[in-house]
Amino acid sequence: MTKQEFSKARSLLGKTQRQLAQLLGTSLKAVHSYEQGWRKIPLHVERQLYFLLFNQRRTAGRKKACWTITKCPSERKQACPAWEFNAGNLCWFINGTICKGTVQKTWEEKIALCRRCEVLSGIIGKLRSK
């Protein structure tokens, strides 16, 4: 996540830097540093921002399950934690999901794949638009 995407996420959430720091469980100084590009945005912070954006009231209820979008075969779907926990629109948030036929070993691998996936792309697109 870039500093511009981070700032845009805060704007879309309608939060001040102080309010976002409280939501993220971090310091105001950290939020300043992320927005200025002085600090790399940690993956857990990026993940939490996506979660907050994804679950805003104005977007709630308009999400298809990942297994529907990706036309996941039944046997793969039933072995996947997203299916097990009925979280097909939060698949990107759950480690151990079977995306593109394999389980990603690290969060970095997973989120790199998720950033290109239709399930999360609506949120990513909002952050990248001017």
Average pLDDT across the chain, whole number? 86
Per the domain annotation, does 116 fall within a domain? yes
Domain extent, residue 54, equals: 1-62
Q: Within this chain, do residues 79 and 43 fall inside the same structural domain, yes or no?
A: no
pTM listed for this prediction = 0.76
| pLDDT (tens digit per residue) in 45-84 | 998 998 888 877 555 555 778 888 888 898 988 888 888 8
CA-to-CA distance for 119 and 65, rounded, in angstroms? 8
68 vs 31, higher pLDDT:
31
**Do 15 and 53 fall into the same domain?**
yes
Distance CA 109, CA 75 (A): 23
Q: Report residue 35 as tokens.
A: 């927005």
Where does a domain end: 62, 80, 113?
Answer: 62
Structurally, the chain folds into a number of domains equal to 2
